[in-house]
Amino acid sequence: MTAPPETNTSILTVLPRGRHAAPRPVVREAQRARMLAAMVQAVAEKGYTRVSVADVIERAGVSRKTFYEQFANKDDCFLAAYDATVDDLLATIDEALDALAPDWLEAHRAAVTAYLEALAASPEFAKAFLIEVLGAGPEALNRRAAVQDRFAAQLEDVHRRARQDIPEIPEVPPYTFRAAVGAVTELVTVHVLEHAAQTLPELVDAVLDVQLALLVGREAARELAAR
């Protein structure tokens, strides 16, 4: 049997048994976390279309019955894994933005760095998040679109704060924020395909250059870079 993935769900290996066993909800939550991690690992290794429920339960070290107690099918498990990991990713970015809130430019650089470092720290998730989701069916594409909208909302807030700091920056049409997200997603995806997710932090300056050119204009972006 394939060893379960190394994740923070290793609590399962030390749960007490017998009359000192952990409460059922604790066990279920730990099992769920292991299955979500196993799904991401399997998808990164084999590609979404080739992954089966058997791949997930083998890696997670659970029974088929346990899997179907929590998920309707493979798609349901993948969507749950996608939602959970994306929520963590967005929370990481928000924390970076909030930590340096008074300085919008430094906060934005910190957010970009946090995004790229999070993907670099979990190459399997990076592949599932950026590439495999595209072949996971209509509902997965809907979830991806919703995530892109959340990223766009973060950029809209960056633009608003930039204009408060530099009134000369013109307003931009709403679609600009979605376009900026798409441009960065393409840049990051190509890097993962051609190099490795672990080297994504190398793209910090490139991502900032693309985003600031769209959000504040190329001339203002150059001035900010000089600062």
What are the distances in angstroms from CA 176 to CA 93, 99, 150, 179? Answer: 20, 26, 14, 5
Question: Which of 70, 88, 117 is the C-terminal boundary of a domain?
Answer: 70
Digit-coded pLDDT (tens) for 15-60: 344 555 566 677 788 899 999 999 999 999 999 999 999 999 999 9
Q: Would you put residue 29 in left (φ > 0), alpha (ψ -120 to 50) or beta?
A: alpha
Residues 108 and 21 in one domain: no
Which of 10-19, 162-171, 196-205 comes out lowest in average pLDDT? Answer: 10-19
- The CATH number assigned to the domain holding 66 equals 1.10.10.60
Tell me what the mean pLDDT of segment 126-139 comes to. 94
Question: Is the pLDDT confidence value at 213 over 50?
Answer: yes
* 200: helix, strand or coil: helix
Helix 123-130 and helix 104-121: axis angle, to 10°?
A: 100
**Structure pTM?**
0.82
φ and ψ at residue 40, rounded to 5 degrees: -60, -45
Side-chain-facing half-sphere of 38: CA atoms under 13 Å: 26
Report the domain count for the chain.
Answer: 2
Residues 145 and 193 in one domain: yes
Tell me what the mean pLDDT of segment 157-165 comes to. 89
Residues 63 and 148 in one domain: no
What residues contact residue 88 under an 8 Å CB cut-off, 6+ apart? 118
Residues 37 and 105 in one domain: no
Residues 35 and 96 in one domain: no
Question: Which residue range forms the structural domain that includes residue 118?
Answer: 74-226
DSSP-assigned letters across all residues of 154-176: HHHHHHHHHHHH-TTSPP--THH
Six-digit token string for 133: 């989701």
- Asked whether the beta carbons of 196 and 116 are under 8 A apart, the reply is no
pLDDT, residue 13, reads: 37
Decide if 5 is inside a domain. Answer: no
Decide if 3 is inside a domain. Answer: no
Nearest Cα neighbor of 129 from 25, 43, 202 is 43
Q: What is the DSSP letter of 131?
A: T
